[in-house]
Each structure stands twice: as structure tokens, then as C-alpha cells.
Amino acid sequence: MNPYLKHDEWCIIEEGFVPENTRASESIFSIGNGAMGQRANFEEKFTGSTLQGSYIGGVYYPDKTRVGWWKNGYPEYFAKVINSTNWIGINVIVNGDELDLAKCKVDEFRRVLNMKEGYLERSFIAEMENGIKLAVKSTRFLSMVDTELGAIRYSVKPLNADATIELRPYLDADVRNEDSNYGEKFWEVVDTSCTPKISYIVSRTKKLDFHVGHAMRNFIALNGNIEHIQPEVNSSAMYVENIFKVEAKAGDEVTLYKYAAVISSLNHEKGSFPKVLDKLIDVAVSKGFDKMLQEQSDAWADIWKHSDITIEGDVAAQQGIRFNIFQLSQTYTGKDERLNIGPKGFTGEKYGGSTYWDTEAYCLPFYMVTHGQKVARQLLLYRYKQLDKAIENAQKLGFTGGAALYPMVTMNGEECHNEWEITFEEIHRNGAIAFAIYNYVRYTDDKSYLVHFGLEVLIAIARFWAQRVNFSQEKGKYVMLGVTGPNEYENNVNNNWYTSTIACWCMEYAEETINYVKSADPAKYKELAEAIKFDEAKEVEKWRDIRNNMFFPFDEKLGIFLQQEGYMDKEQILVKDLDPEERPLNQKWSWDRILRSCFIKQADVLQGLYFLEDRYDTETIKRNFDFYEARTVHESSLSPCVHSVLASRIGNVDKAYELYLRTARLDLDDYNREVKEGLHITSMAGTWISIVEGFGGMRVRNGMLTFNPLIPDKWKSYSFKVWFRENILKIVVSSTQITIFNESESSLTIKVYGVEHKVPGSSSINVPVQKQLF
């Protein structure tokens, strides 16, 4: 842990300059707008440790795969969202010496991420080696309104002497990725222009020919008044800069306004870049910094209106959950169905910035409930559009007849992961993708999605499962051999309960959906069945046969589902009996030892009980929870939330709270000393789930919202927002009472603790908190 940030309800605040924390802060203070994002690098030169990073959604590079020993079926490349042109840079030269915080005495350093209004602010006083004391303040944001624009206001004030101040805003396309597999650079420049008015660089990726264009226009103000100074210009092959020289008196404030436009060939014709950039810069300049910032603030107010969670009585928790909502909301906005949510969003390079099953299993509920049906539907369409690639992916592994295996990691639908035990075996991801469709339809009642998109995906997934099992003569049952469940501390196991369960569920839901579509839109059904050569009678019969004769490992004595066949052959030790010195296991133990142990990285059987909760009674959930929680080390950031929800489900609020705490401030307090690599964006959704589905006990059953709220002892109250179909609700839970505000005009009937309540439009109801539910 490294809890160096100040607690505050709406802001993330760093006070004092500690160079060792630079990379961590670069991650934590990241800003984005769904279309692009960047780490909180300094504008001025910094020769200390830094990971410079500025990323554009959907612009990626197929970096040649790095493996020890090639296996047939491995992908040729690992797609990564790559660091692109650095457009925030402003070199500051004072009396000929360059400002560099690694070489100054730094005082009053303060960095603030204003989450309420969506901007990053930084101020400090630097005493330079030449004796000049300089007060600097910068404000920066990526516009949520004009998503191809960013703006910086950067002020410099010599405090102790007159000084010649040079400000050199630049664009630098000669950037690298620290995680490039073979140390290659990914960009080459196509076109540059550098004029006192507008400067730009157009560059292209060396593979795939993505073009990106970055433009800037800069203005100088002295003590608040714009000075019409023509900058000098300077450029080289991959670099353009403007040079402003100002003779400042001590106490004068010299301010640079830097407006930047960032575009890519995803959205614009390659030939049109200069024109488009020009227009965009005009938009920024005509609005001006203050108006843009006001619009930013308004846009964020709108986001918070649907998504805020408050926690009364615990500022750290309040800050933590808002940080998570803020980061999720600036990573993905649902405006572009080609984009998705990488595990680190736009905050680092690790994991390639691609799409994992995290999206469906963790992120979808968050976006669906807080950002509305349209945004959730975009996430589903992303996979629908990649169905052909998922079928290709399955073909590469030997599957036929339209079976689809969605990739473990992807950018464009093709598999990128290159470990056989994950790539080929962690196939339960297919289940999450089907479940997301179910989850979406259950929540939104948007059954038309099934007709036009969902069914095709569901059939392709069911086809995969039907081929992936085989009939064991030995057992007289269908078995699923060689899989890796969600618990990646087991690899290549047989009959993983979760995978087999979700596989059977997929086949069942596919059949149910076939029946629905057949009756709702017979023509559409016929058209699809023909297009995909679907032999309904034969295929559905096979699915039923598999479901009815599937082998599920079960321990009769303990009455628990077994994570996989043979799990009980392992030495059974409990997490509580582990020497704390040996944890986290993934840092202290060899992989061999981890694999052979009974310890579980993340929810596996419990993931199934979470997804398919309604099928299991409380006693079953409790038995399995008690057994597996005692063996789970939660060394995935995705794990505690599922356990937390189930702990709430069985009424164990203390356990639920303990588990909630493990993710809520994971990044802010840097639990694993790794936040410098980027934020755990996708698992932030898990924290939200722990509150809303966990403590709040929110479910949708038979089309109706239901709540079973609990409240942790430490909290005075908490509230969350729910955007359910036509209504916006605010649920406030105190230690005694639940208040449900209906912020919409139409009334809504919900259930609280199993009892129906009608909440009229624009009003609220109160229900007392129940203490003993279970």
C-alpha cells in the first residue's frame, strides 16, 4: 500500500512533490473522454521516471507475438492501443534554462483531479538552478462535448526576479511504448505543418495504416490579457513547436492557452486530415478555454446525475467509489460501438488496452444501470459485429459449422492472447458474452435485440459448446476436458463446474431465445436459420442431450459444487492458515506451487452462483460460499466484488464489507504497488456492483426492480442511482430506513424485501431497513 493522497469527497488531491510517486500519480490522475485518454504527464519537460502515454480509442498496433515456444493456433500478434503523438508538451525556458521538476526545488506542489467537473489541475513553485522562483499552474481536460478536442491553460509567474520566459508548446510524434515486445517504434510521420497559427502532425502506424492527426494552436496572455504575439516556429521530422518569448517582470503571470485537436482514420478520410484539424481548432478557439471548461463541467453534471453514489460517514469510501465511477465514465461513453473497455482503459500500456470478458461480466451492469440502455446496447453490438471473427477463431482451433469462440483478448475480434491455457482453454468467456445478452434483455426488456442480433450470437455460442464437450464412455456422461475456469490458479482442468454450468445454461438460453424469436418474428427467424444453416431439430436436440447428461463434479459429503474434477485430491489448507509473509502468493510462490495448491485466485464456482443465483437456494449458496471463500486469495482485482455480492446475499454484511474494501480504493491507495502501470478500470465496475447489487441487493426479477438493502455498520448512509427503463431512481439507505426517490415523472412499481411498492413520479417512499433477512 501507498496511501499518499488526501481524502476528499469530490477530488483526488496530491500535495507535495515526491518523485517516486510520479508514475503512480500519472495513472491515478489520468483523464479521458471515451474517445481518447492520457496519463497525467507533466506538460513541461521531466527527466525523472515517467511513463508518457496518450491513447486514442480504437487505434492499435499488432505487435509481433512474443512467446517462448510457439503453439499451433497462437495469434501472430498482440494488439495494443498505443501511445500516440504527445500533444500536451510545453517546454518552459526561463532565462535560457529549462524547467524540469527533476532538477528543481519544488514547493507547494498540488495536483487535483476534479471529478465533479472533469479536469486536471496542477500547481507548484519551482526554484530553478538559476535561482529563479517560478509559480506554475496548469489546467487540462479532454472535452466530453467535442471529443476530438483537448485544452490546456498553463501559467508561469516569475516570483523573485524579472525573467525571459520562453514557452514552447509542441507536438511530438516520435513516441514509444514501454511494452513494445521487441523494442520497435510503431509510428511514422506522413505530413507535418508548422505555422504561427496552426501546426499539425499526421502520422501512421507502421502496420495496419491507422492515421492519426494532431493539431495545436496556441495563445499567450500576460496577466490575463491575450497578447497577439506571433510565435516562431520550429520543426523536425516528427516534431513541431511554437516558440513564444515573453519578457516578464517579477510577479507577471504569463499564460499559454494550448488548444489541441486529435483525430484518427477511424472517423475521417485520410486525405481530409488538414482540413478537419483546421476546423476543429477553429471550434476550440471560437469557444475559448472558459466556455469549453464550462461545457465540460455541465457534461459531467449530467453523468453524475445518473451514476453518483454517495456514502455518508466515510470520506475515503466516498472518494473511492466516485473515483471508480469517474474513471469508468471517462473510459467508455458508448458513443462509438467500435470501442470497448480495456482493463487499464487509457491509463497505461499493460494488457494491451484490448477487450476482455471483464466487459460483459463486470462492466455491463455498471453502464446499463448508470448510463442507460443505449450505452449497454453498444457494448453488446461490439461483440455482435465481431461474430464472424469469433467463428474464424473457433475454426482455427478445429471447430466447424458456425461455432463461435469469442477471444480472450481482442481489439478487432481476433484473438490476441498467447498462452495456450488461457487462449484455448479459458473458454468460459463465451458464457459471459451470452449472459450479457440475457442480463441486458432482463434489465431493459429490449427483446428486439434478440431478434436482430442476440439470437445469432447465442446459436453460434451454443454450437461451440456442443462441440467442445465429448461423451465419456467411462462416465456415461458428457465431459468438458482441458479448460481453465475463471480461477486462473488452475489450468487445463477437466470438468470445471463453472464452465460446464455456463455452457449448459448457454444452450438452454439459446433454445429459449429460438422459441421467442420464432414466435415474435417468424420471418426473421427463418431468414437467420437459413443464413447460418441452422438445423434446429437436430442441433437443439443435441443441446438438450448434453444438458441432460452433463457431468458436474459435486461433493456429496460437503454438499458443494466442486470447482473441477479432482479438486478434493489437493491438500486442503485455508487462507487463514497461510503465513501472511507468503502473500500475495503470485509474488511469493512459484507458479508450480500455486497451481498445485487449493488456493483460488478469483471467484469460480461462486461466479456461477452469482450469475445464476436464482437457481440456487440460500443454503446452497451459503455452503459453497463458506467453502470457497475460505480458499480464495482474491489475487485478481475482479474477485472480491463477486464474493461481496454473495456475502450480502447470504446476509453476511461484515464479510461483504471486508471484501468491498479490498477493491474500493485498490488504485487510490495502491494496494499492490503497481498503480504506476495503470488503473484497474474494469474491476472498478466490480466495486460499483458490490454496492448496488451487494449492499443494495438490487435485482431484476420478472421485469421488476427488487432491492434487499443492507448497510455496513461503519456507514451512516449510502445512496445510489438507478436508470431503469424510463425511470431514474435514487435509493438512499440509512441504518434504519430506505428511501426511494423516483426522479422521473412516471410511477414505477418495485419490490423491497420482497414486498411490492408503487413509487409515484417525482416522489419517494420509505421502507424500514430489515435486520434479519436470511
The three grid cell numbers given for residue 241, joined into one nine-digit string: 513547436
Please, what is the minimum distance in Å from the beta carbon of residue 345 to a second copy?
20
The gap between the terminal CA atoms of the chain, to the nearest Å, is 36
Q: Choose which of 49, 160, 549, 572 interacts with a second copy (CB under 8 A).
A: 572
The three grid cell numbers given for residue 50, joined into one nine-digit string: 515517467
The Cα–Cα gap between 112 and 6 comes to 10
Q: Choose which of 530, 556, 571, 577 interacts with a second copy (CB under 8 A).
A: 571
Please give the sequence-ordered ranges of beta strands (E in DSSP) within 286-406, or none if there are none: 309-312
- Helix count (H) and strand count (E) of the chain? 21, 32
Write out the H or E segment, with its range, that includes residue 296.
Answer: helix 273-307
Instruction: Indicate the residue type of 272.
Output: S
Say whether residue 74 binds a second copy (CB under 8 A): yes
Instruction: Indicate the residue type of 70.
Output: W
Please list, in sequence order, all residues whose beta carbon lies within 8 angstroms of the beta carbon of residue 684, skipping any fewer than 6 positions away: 323, 324, 325, 327, 328, 663, 667
Report CA-CA distances (Å) from 652 to 170, 435, 513, 622.
56, 26, 36, 10
Catalytic option among 488, 565, 629, 635:
488
Segment lying near a second copy (by CB under 8 A), choices 15-23, 588-596, 643-651, 672-680: 588-596
Say whether residue 579 binds a second copy (CB under 8 A): no
Angle of the 387-396 helix axis to the 455-468 helix axis, nearest 10: 10
Q: Do the annotations mark residue 601 as ligand-binding? A: yes
Residues from 596 through 625 that contact a second copy (CB under 8 A): 596
Size of the site for a second copy (CB under 8 A): 51
Residues from 385 through 404 that contact a second copy (CB under 8 A): 396-398
Q: Choose which of 566, 703, 754, 768 interacts with a second copy (CB under 8 A).
A: 566
Say whether residue 225 binds a second copy (CB under 8 A): no
Say whether residue 481 binds a second copy (CB under 8 A): yes
Nearer to a second copy, 141 or 420 (CB): 420
Nearer to a second copy, 57 or 343 (CB): 343
CB distance 409 to 386 below 8 Å: no
Q: Choose which of 103, 570, 725, 730 interacts with a second copy (CB under 8 A).
A: 570
Q: Choose which of 71, 275, 701, 716 interacts with a second copy (CB under 8 A).
A: 71
Segment lying near a second copy (by CB under 8 A), choices 114-122, 213-221, 240-248, 416-424: 416-424
Nearer to a second copy, 465 or 723 (CB): 465
Say whether residue 548 binds a second copy (CB under 8 A): no
Say whether residue 593 binds a second copy (CB under 8 A): yes
Please, what is the minimum distance in Å from the beta carbon of residue 63 to a second copy?
11
The three grid cell numbers given for residue 413, joined into one nine-digit string: 475480434
Instruction: Indicate the residue type of 254.
Output: V
The Cα–Cα gap between 520 and 128 comes to 73
CB distance 133 to 94 below 8 Å: no
Is residue 488 flagged as an active site residue? yes
Segment lying near a second copy (by CB under 8 A), choices 135-143, 217-225, 301-309, 486-494: 486-494
Q: Choose which of 65, 95, 412, 620 interacts with a second copy (CB under 8 A).
A: 65
Please, what is the minimum distance in Å from the beta carbon of residue 65 to a second copy?
7
Angle of the 522-531 helix axis to the 497-520 helix axis, nearest 10: 130
Please, what is the minimum distance in Å from the beta carbon of residue 418 to a second copy?
4
Mark 178-217 with x for binding to a second copy (rule: CB under 8 A) and - for no binding.
Answer: ----xx----------------------------------
- Phi/psi at 274 (5° precision): -55, -45
Say whether residue 148 binds a second copy (CB under 8 A): no
Opening angle at CA 421, ends 419 and 427, nearest 5: 110
Please, what is the minimum distance in Å from the beta carbon of residue 399 to a second copy?
9
Q: Do the annotations mark residue 357 as ligand-binding? A: yes
Nearer to a second copy, 401 or 482 (CB): 482
Say whether residue 73 binds a second copy (CB under 8 A): yes
SS3 124: strand
The Cα–Cα gap between 366 and 122 comes to 30
Say whether residue 529 binds a second copy (CB under 8 A): no
CB distance 36 to 56 below 8 Å: yes
Which single residue is written with the C-alpha cell 506542489?
109
Mark 425-454 with x for binding to a second copy (rule: CB under 8 A) and - for no binding.
Answer: x-----------------------------
Q: What are 221's strand-pairing partners? A: 226, 255
Q: Choose which of 471, 552, 741, 753 interacts with a second copy (CB under 8 A).
A: 471
Cβ-defined contacts of 418-421 (< 8 Å, 24+)? 418/65, 418/66, 418/67, 418/74, 418/75, 418/78, 420/71, 420/73, 420/74, 421/484, 421/491, 421/492
The Cα–Cα gap between 396 and 326 comes to 39
Segment lying near a second copy (by CB under 8 A), choices 39-47, 210-218, 251-259, 591-599: 591-599
SS3 706: strand
Nearer to a second copy, 544 or 596 (CB): 596
Mark 227-256 with x for binding to a second copy (rule: CB under 8 A) and - for no binding.
Answer: ------------------------------
Note if the bond before 584 is cis, omega within 30 degrees.
yes
Binding site for a second copy (CB under 8 A): 65-69, 71-74, 78, 182-183, 396-398, 418-421, 424-425, 470-475, 479, 481-482, 491-492, 494, 565-566, 568-572, 586-596
Residues annotated within the binding site are 357-358, 601-602
Q: Which residues are catalytic?
A: 488
Residues annotated within the binding site for substrate are 357-358, 601-602
